[in-house]
Structure 1
C-alpha cells in the first residue's frame, strides 16, 4: 500500500461509523466487494477540510463483482441484509458485472475496472475491510486528485459525457460543502 493509500486507510479506520460499516459489508462475504464513491471521497474531503465526525451524506454504495449472479434481485437481497443490520443507512448495492449494460460500456472485468467508467477520478475509489485491522484501497486513477482536492472528469466523462460530470458538480453542491475543492482544469 502506498503512503497516500495508507493515509486514506487510517482516516477510515479512525472513523468509528465508517469502520463499522466496512465490517458490516465484509460480513456479507460477497466476491470483489467494496464500499465506494462518496462514502470514501466525502470522508477524505471532510478530513482535509478539518471536519471530524461529519455525518454520512447520501447513500452508501456497495459494489461487488460476480458475473454468475447478475440478477438485480441479488442486489436487493443484499441491501435487505444490510438494512437488517444497520437500518439507519441508505444502502445501495450493485453488482458491477451487469452495470455495463445500463451505462452502454463494454463488459467490466472487475469492480475496480467498473470504477474506470465513473464520472470523476476522486469518486472512483473504494475500500474494503479485511479482518479486524486491515483496510484495502482500490483506486484505478490513483488517489492524488482526491487528496489534492481536485475535481477532474475521467476520460469517459471528459468529452461526450461532459455535461453529466458538470451537472454532478453543480447539483451535489460540492463546492459549497467543501470550498477548498478546485477544478483540475483551472
Structure 2
C-alpha cells in the first residue's frame, strides 16, 4: 500500500519522465526473493524526472508538494537533466540514460504509475540481475571504491543475506 500511495502521489504531479527510482523497486524485489514478511523500510523515496528548463529550486518545490500529499515519505527529487554535471558526462538525453550511470546495476531501475493505472518500469540493464539476487558494479560507469563503500554503509548483505556480489 505504501509504495502504491507513493506512485499515486507522483502521478499527480505529471512530471516529464517522472519515476521513482533506485531502492524503491530494487528493495521490493529483494524483499520478495528473501521472503520477508514485511517491506524493508526505505530511507527515502527517490523521484526522478527530466526537464531541460527546470531550475534546481523546482526540485525543492516538488519535494514540498509531495510531502504535502504524503508527509510520511522522505521525498528526494532530482531533475536528471542536470545530473550529468556531477560526473563530468555529456548532457543526458533521458531519465533512462541518466540512471544507467548509477553505482549498482540493480539500482538502475525506476517505476511509475501511468494514467491508466498500470505500472511502467524503466530498467536500462533489465531486471534479470535484480531477480538473480546479485549486487553488481555498474559496467557502464564502474567505480569500485564508491560501490564497496555503498555496499558496506548500506548493510545490504546483512539485510538481504542471499545477495551475491559481482564485480
- Normalising by structure 2, report the TM-score: 0.95
Which of 82, 85, 89 aligns to 1:101? It is 85
- 53-62 or 120-129: which moved more? 53-62
For residues 183 and 109 of structure 1, the distance between their equivalents in structure 2, rounded to whole angstroms, comes to 30
Unaligned runs of 5+ in 1: 1-15
1:110 equivalent in alignment to 2:94:
yes
State how 1:73-92 maps to structure 2 within 5 Å. 73-92=57-76
How far apart are 1:153 and its partner, in Å? 0.9
CA distance in 1 between partners of 2:70 and 2:118 (Å): 22
Partners of 1:134 and 1:82 lie apart in 2 by 20
Contact 1:152–1:183, Cα closer than 8 Å, also in 2:
yes
Root-mean-square deviation (CA, aligned residues, Å) is: 1.2
Runs of 4+ in structure 1 deviating by more than 3 angstroms, as ranges, are none
Which residue is equivalent to 2:155? 173
Deviation at 1:133, TM superposition (A): 3.1
> What is the number of equivalent residue pairs in this alignment?
167
For 2:3 and 2:29, the matched residues in 1 are separated by 12
1:155 aligns with 2:139: yes
Residue 119 of structure 1, aligned match among 103, 116, 119: 103
User: Using the alignment, how far apart are the partners of 1:132 and 1:87 within structure 2?
Assistant: 25
2:61 is aligned with 1:61: no
The Cα of 1:131 is off from its aligned counterpart by 3.0
Shift of 1:132: 5.2
Give the TM-score, by structure 1 length. 0.86
- Partner residue, 2:23: 38
Other-structure match for 1:145: 129
1:55 Cα offset (Å):
4.3
Q: Cα offset for 1:151?
A: 1.0
- Compared with structure 1, are the counterparts of its residues 137 and 108 closer, same or farther at alpha carbon in structure 2 (3 Å cutoff)? same
